Structure 1
Amino acid sequence: MSTPSEPGHDRSEPHLGAIVGERRRLTNIAYRLLGSLSDAEDAVQETYARWYAMSRQQQEAIESPGAWLTTVAGRICLDMLGSARVRREAYVGAWIPEPLPDRTEWFNGRAGGGRAAPDDPADRITLDESVNMAFLVVLESMTPAERVAFILHDVFRYPFAEVAEIVGRTPAACRQLASSARRRLRAARTPMGPAAEQAGLVRNFKEAWEAKNIKALVGLLDPDATMTADGGGLVGTVLRPVKGSERIAQYLIHIADKTPGLALLERMVNGRPGLVAQHTGTPVTVAAFDITGGRIRCIWAVRNPEKLRPWTDSGQN
């Protein structure tokens, strides 16, 4: 389909500037709701398709195009969340949200310079606390309605009256959904140290892995640490989380022995210090970390190549 920024749309259309300007905000909402960049872009595309399927008269009758787009996008995401639960029951291994690169580190195939193309969905995502991997993983434990109510109200500050129109419940019910979501977050989240401290720990982890130093790796990991990998059945990886610092360290050394020439790069992943593993110049794993009390508590290793497209297209080296 053609999008509002493509040829074929009359620039005299009502509200065109406002409609085009909503794409970044809608993509930000959809990614947080779905945890998938490709699904978020599909939701936004479908939202615009519905707008342009209306007659000029119908469009002119809409008082606030931005509010209309948000309502439609929210409902589309709500439906997609419901169907995603069914799809993930058949997913091979663990499902991890899609990792995002920092826009300052990749530029649409031109590492280190230039500008990302305006149609790159990843470049529209504002990286903040609501997209760090630990946050997104907790969102996955919520019901679709809880997730939509919480993200729209607590993250994007939509009043519950507007959220209710999207979720199809009363404002009071939406307030309860958001409250339940907050309790889930409080139960799961732990304090994180300064970014510089996190970056230093990730660097030490990288160097210990490269040196195949099991003792050093164990010392950097929380004794009850967990490593979860997502290959989607497309590449080989563990299907269940690896638990315990010693088991994780042993597994990492096994990977290093099994894949000679693996290059580890320090990169920002969803706004936090992370690692990208490259083999023959191609990113094969993107790892995000949850660091608490000076140790690594969780590692999320995304290996599914379909989730690494923003990284493989970036030409990082």
Structure 2
Amino acid sequence: MTKNVLVLGGTAFVGRAVLQGLVARGYTVDFVTRGQRKVDVTGYRTHHVCDRRDAETLRKCIAGVHYDYVFDISAYTRHDIEVVLHVIETSKLQRYVFLSSGAVYLPSQQLLHEHSLRGANPHWGRYGLDKREAEDVLFENKYNVPVTIFRPPYIYGEGNELYRESYFFQQVEKGEAIPYPATDTRVQFVHIDDVVRMMLAAVTNEQAENEAYHLAHPEEVTWEKLVRTCTRCAGETQLLPVSVEEMALLQVTAKQFFPFRDVMYKMCTDKLREHGLPQPRIGLEEGLRRSYDWFTRQAFQEPTIHAMNELARVTAYCLQRERNMR
């Protein structure tokens, strides 16, 4: 018998990919969004246009439907989860899969494990705290619903609307230099195809019931490695390292000239293997080549407002430094 699935989200990056993956695997899929984006996926059953935070509206949309699985991509707060669990018929619900975040952990320079302490992290602010509280609702399990939680670091790949890898690709297209933090910070990434494959595998894995997992490729990446890999995929441009001392001199943070915070993000992925879940298999260079191929097919517009408000000043400083060294 075909399984009924409810996806919360479905038109933005990860939600769209999960929706597409479920349809491709033969599930009967309904999804909920606010209707602010065009739907370009086919094969689903129903698109419910409503605010998931509005309990009465959501109840009317999904009334009388028994779902086997829920994939929650769009929850950010405790309330987001509580509304769904209060409204949905839970008697046949076999798994609630929630996409959380690695931002739930306390600041750490060490390798993070799923049992590492969660709490306030000034680098991520309210976002990390809200995701942690959303997890807590599911872990409390007062609705008696089996759950699986995934905590990714940085998700990238085809369809990514965040101005991250697309920033590097655009800099190459324009022939502009790329300043980057010359620090020893290590982070991890995960390609969107691995995200979908691993999340979908969890619903049929009994060991994944009431567990949390790191959704990351184990490869550790420095900022220099990231930008050099991007330029190998998209073409060469001038790379400008910015030291910690220079950032202090200029009184800037990495986020003011670079599309990532300069924060250590290392996550152990052994638990996936130990519980028989698929391993991430798309390495950074392969994933970025796929992402660049997608980027070249888009009419991608640089955001008019973004956090890199000191990019021009930092670039000018670095270019002058390079001229002085000749």
Common fold by TM > 0.5: no
Given the two structures, how large is their TM-score scaled by the length of structure 2?
0.30
Structure with greater proportional helix content: 1
Given the two structures, how large is their TM-score scaled by the length of structure 1?
0.30
Larger RCO, structures 1/2 (Cα 8 Å, 6+ apart):
1
